[in-house]
Each structure stands twice: as C-alpha cells, then as structure tokens.
C-alpha cells in the first residue's frame, strides 16, 4: 500500500471501484479516443495498448449489464 494514502482520512480517499468516480463507460470512451489519437500520430504501439485497455473496459461494461439497456 502506498504510504501516502494511509495518511489521508478515510473519507477523502477515492472509491475502490474506479478512480475519482469515473465509470467504466467513461474509461472505455477515453481509451478509444486515445487509441485514435495514437493512430493519427502513427504510434502503433500506443494505439494497440489503448485498444487493449478499451477492450478491458468494454468487458467490464458487458459484465455490468449495460448492453441489455442498449447503452452500447
């Protein structure tokens, strides 16, 4: 555990699920955007990395049942 995090009062720490209250849908869209930017810049390694992160969050979304509501 990061020793700096132990010093913060419990109520000031970010929730354990997603950092700073960002949900899986926002992370998915963020990494898709970053992948597209990397593709335009010609950085194939960063593009693939971001697509893999986006795929992870896509799977998280599917696990949460978003696809049944038509959000995807």
Global confidence as pTM = 0.61
- Is 10 a member of any domain? no
Nearest alpha carbon to residue 61 among 30, 36, 39: 30
- Is 9 a member of any domain? no
Identify the domain containing residue 64 by its residue range: 21-69
- Is 42 a member of any domain? yes
Digitized pLDDT (tens) for each residue of the chain, 72 residues in all: 455 555 555 555 444 555 566 899 999 999 999 999 999 999 999 999 999 999 999 999 998 765 555 555
- Give the model's pLDDT for residue 22: 80
- Give the model's pLDDT for residue 51: 97
For the chain, the domain total comes to: 1
- Is 7 a member of any domain? no
- Is 6 a member of any domain? no
Output the CA–CA distances (angstroms, integers) from residue 31 to 1, 9, 59, 66, in the order listed: 26, 31, 13, 18
């Amino acid at each position: 555990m990061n020793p700096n995090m132990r010093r913060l009062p419990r109520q000031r720490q970010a929730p354990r699920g997603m950092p700073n209250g960002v949900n899986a849908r926002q992370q998915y869209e963020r990494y898709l955007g970053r992948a597209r930017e990397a593709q335009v810049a010609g950085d194939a390694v960063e593009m693939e990395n971001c697509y893999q992160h986006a795929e992870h969050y896509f799977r998280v979304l599917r696990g949460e049942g978003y696809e049944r509501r038509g959000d995807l």
